Amino acid sequence: MSTPKILILGAGYGGLLTTLKLQKKLNYNEAEITLVNKHNYHYITTWLHEPAAGTASADHARVNLDQIIDMNKVNFVKGTVQSIQPEEQTVTLESGEVLSYDYLVIGLGSEPETFGIQGLKEHAFSIRSINAVRQIREHIEYMFAKYKNEPERTDYLTFVVGGAGFTGIEFCGELADRVPELCQEFDVDPDLVKIYCIEAAPTALPGFDPELVNYAMDVLSRKGIEFKIGTPIKECTENGVLLANGEEIKSKTVVWAAGVRGNSIVEKSGFEVMRGRVKVDEYLRAPGYENVFVVGDCALIFNAEGRPYPPTAQIAVQEGECLGDNLAALIRGEVMQPFVPALQGTLASLGKGEGIGMVGSKKLFGSTAALMKKASDLRYLWKIGGVGLAMKKVRL
């Protein structure tokens, strides 16, 4: 019998952890493992709000794949997936190359959810990749530089963050920390800089603990963030945003952080999806395909009450590890184990040294939450790259 081919799409949290598990569990001759990713690095998505605001470098959030993957055991293909043909068991890359598989793992992450709101695709930024956050950082700096040449244009110094979910809140914390530095560098009066965080729901961080939400809003308001809660953005133009209450905010910088959907390649390839995510079975298999597995933000799983789990790195990591074990079991003719998420809590940063968190039933505030978040980052880096990577990357 020929060696089974395992093809993994995406080296994000889900795809990377599947790969690392497989490289650890399987011997060289047991399977042919191929990993396809757009870049030759893994990025730490959970840090991207920092380079976006400019409080950390984009490089800091990248880890070269050859540092963490055994390239003797895994064929790495740097390429962009264009489509999946599940009936033919093939994947086509933008380069035209066609890869075949016996087992497929889809871990292509997410895309911004725009809900069909006019102008967002054309005029808003989103925090989604290393290249995207580099552009946001450069643009913010450019706005300060432009203002110095056109001082009547205060809209250059107005920044709009769409959505007060965790991404919006974390980015606001970083941007508020960066503004004093930019004001000093460009000799700008800090009172002229406005950062609006606009949320459609009646509260920031809908569904999260109200005491922690109030704490986050207090911290960010003191740092200069102006919240507009219960006011959906209904249109984005090249001059700013229009809100459902009729208000217009003039701005040249709109960062859309109002939710995500699964990578559109999955839907375009004919898989049944809800908001771009495949409702997988207990073994993370796509309906109708015994040999196609989906992890991370492309996968949709439900809790005991029938509510979908939010797409998080935490779940993507656990799915990747479980799937790695299960694929190794399948190859060896052993029994797979169902995926059961073990939620460890939520930790979010509010800028340097500040955060909120809920771990079990314990609420964490301020520096304690920030420290716990660093500890959780450290654990992840250790998991993927050992102590060396953890020591190199974690900033205390």
Q: Which amino acids are annotated catalytic?
A: 170
CA nearest to 170, candidates 316, 371, 370? 370
Residue 260 and residue 268 in contact, taking contact as beta carbons nearer than 8 Å: no
CA nearest to 62, candidates 93, 37, 82? 37
Output the DSSP codes for 184-216: HHHT--GGG-EEEEEESSSSSSTTS-HHHHHHH
- Look at residue 201 and give the partner it binds from ligand NAD, ligand FAD, none, a contact being a CB closer than 5 to 8 Å depending on partner kind: ligand NAD
Of 136-144, 185-193, 343-351, 381-389: span binding ligand NAD (CB under 6 A): 343-351
Contact status: 37 vs ligand FAD (CB under 6 A): yes
Among 19, 45, 89, 326, interactor with ligand FAD by CB under 6 A: 45
Contact status: 276 vs ligand NAD (CB under 6 A): no
Distance in Å, CB of 356 to ligand NAD, minimum: 9
If binding means CB under 6 A, how many residues of this protein chain bind ligand FAD? Answer: 32
- For ligand FAD, the closer of residues 65 and 330 by Cβ is 65
**What are the φ/ψ torsions at residue 358 (nearest 5 degrees)?**
-130, 110
Contact status: 357 vs ligand NAD (CB under 6 A): no
Identify the bridge partners of residue 349 per DSSP, sorted by sequence position.
355
- Look at residue 265 and give the partner it binds from ligand NAD, ligand FAD, none, a contact being a CB closer than 5 to 8 Å depending on partner kind: ligand FAD
- Look at residue 324 and give the partner it binds from ligand FAD, ligand NAD, none, a contact being a CB closer than 5 to 8 Å depending on partner kind: none
Among 6, 7, 10, 125, interactor with ligand FAD by CB under 6 A: 10
Q: Report H helices in 189-342.
A: 210-222, 264-268, 313-331
| 64 to 83: interface string for ligand FAD, x by CB under 6 A | ----------------xx--
d(Cα 272, Cα 386) in Å, to the nearest integer? 38
Q: Taking phi first (over 0 means left), then psi (-120 to 50 degrees means alpha), and beta for anything else, what does residue 115 get?
A: left
Which residues ranging from 100 to 119 are in contact with ligand NAD (CB under 6 A)? Answer: 115, 117
Contact status: 260 vs ligand NAD (CB under 6 A): yes
- For ligand NAD, the closer of residues 22 and 348 by Cβ is 348
Q: Which residue has the tokens 């569990």?
A: 25
Which residues ranging from 157 to 176 are in contact with ligand NAD (CB under 6 A)? Answer: 162-168, 170
- For ligand NAD, the closer of residues 162 and 240 by Cβ is 162
- Look at residue 357 and give the partner it binds from ligand FAD, ligand NAD, none, a contact being a CB closer than 5 to 8 Å depending on partner kind: none
If binding means CB under 6 A, how many residues of this protein chain bind ligand NAD? Answer: 27
User: How many Å from the N-terminal Cα to the C-terminal Cα in the chain?
Assistant: 52
For residue 368, the tally of other CB atoms under 10 A from its CB is 14
d(Cα 13, Cα 319) in Å, to the nearest integer? 9
Residue number of the CB atom closest to ligand NAD: 165
For residue 16, the tally of other CB atoms under 10 A from its CB is 27
Residue 36 and residue 79 in contact, taking contact as beta carbons nearer than 8 Å: yes
Among 23, 251, 269, 314, interactor with ligand FAD by CB under 6 A: 314
Among 61, 108, 220, 257, interactor with ligand NAD by CB under 6 A: 257
d(Cα 345, Cα 40) in Å, to the nearest integer? 31
CA nearest to 89, candidates 104, 107, 74, 106? 104
Tokens of 133: 């956050």
- Residues within the interface to ligand NAD (CB under 6 A): 115, 117, 162-168, 170, 198-201, 206, 232-233, 257-260, 310-312, 346-348
